[in-house]
Amino acid sequence: MALVACVVAGPVQAAECSFKPNAPDQHVVVKRDTLWDISGVFLKHPWCWPQVWGLNRAEIRNPHWIYPGQVIYFDRARGRLSLTRPAGDGAAEAPLFRLSPHVRSEGLERQAIDSIPAGVIEPYLTQPLVIERDGLAGAPRIAASEEGHLYLGNGDRVYVRGDLQGATEFQVFRPGAPLKDPQTGDVLAHEAAYLGSVRLVKAAAPGVDVHTFIVSSSAREMGVGDRLVPTPAPAVRNYVPHAPQTAIDARVMSIYSGVSYAGQSQVVTVNRGSIDGLDVGSVLQLYHFGKTVADPGGRKGFLGFGRATMKLPDEQYGTLFIFRVFGRVSYGLIMQVTAPVEVGDVAKSPE
**Positions in the chain short of pLDDT 70:** 1-16, 54-65, 88-110, 119-120, 123, 125-126, 128, 148, 150, 234-238, 257-258, 298-306
Q: What is the pLDDT of residue 235?
A: 61
Contact 139, 190 (CB under 8 A): no
Q: What is the pLDDT of residue 12?
A: 37
Count up the domains in the chain and report the number.
Answer: 3
Give 191's contacts (C-beta < 8 A, 6+ positions apart).
129, 130, 131, 176, 177, 178, 179, 254
Are 322 and 263 contained in the same domain? yes
Give 37's contacts (C-beta < 8 A, 6+ positions apart).
none
Cα gap 61→63, rounded to integer Å: 6
Contact 302, 308 (CB under 8 A): no
Are 273 and 211 contained in the same domain? no
Are 148 and 208 contained in the same domain? yes
Q: What is the pLDDT of residue 237?
A: 60
> Is residue 18 domain-resident?
no
Contact 270, 282 (CB under 8 A): no
Cα gap 187→164, rounded to integer Å: 27
Q: Which amino acid is at 180?
A: K
Q: What are the pLDDT digits (tens) for 268-294?
A: 999 999 999 999 889 999 998 777 888
Are 152 and 187 contained in the same domain? yes
φ/ψ (deg, to 5) at 344: 95, -10
> Is residue 183 domain-resident?
yes
Are 143 and 99 contained in the same domain? no
Are 43 and 103 contained in the same domain? yes
Of the candidates 52, 84, 113, which is a domain's last residue?
A: 113
Beta bridge pairs of residue 250: 347
Of the candidates 177, 200, 230, which is a domain's last residue?
A: 230
Q: Which amino acid is at 222?
A: M
Q: What are the pLDDT digits (tens) for 41-70?
A: 998 888 887 777 766 666 665 555 688 888
Residues 109-134, buried b or exposed e (16+ Cβ, 10 A)? eeebbbbbeeeebeebbebbbbbbbe
> Is residue 94 domain-resident?
yes
Are 134 and 225 contained in the same domain? yes
Beta bridge pairs of residue 132: 189
> Is residue 153 domain-resident?
yes
Q: What is the pLDDT of residue 223?
A: 87
Residue 318 burial (CB count, 10 A):
22
> Is residue 237 domain-resident?
no
Contact 201, 148 (CB under 8 A): no
Are 142 and 209 contained in the same domain? yes
Are 37 and 76 contained in the same domain? yes
Contact 197, 127 (CB under 8 A): no
CATH of the domain at 273: 2.40.10.410
| Residue 201 structural domain | 129-230
Are 135 and 220 contained in the same domain? yes
CA angle 276, 346, 116 (to 5 degrees): 75
Of the candidates 87, 113, 139, which is a domain's last residue?
A: 113
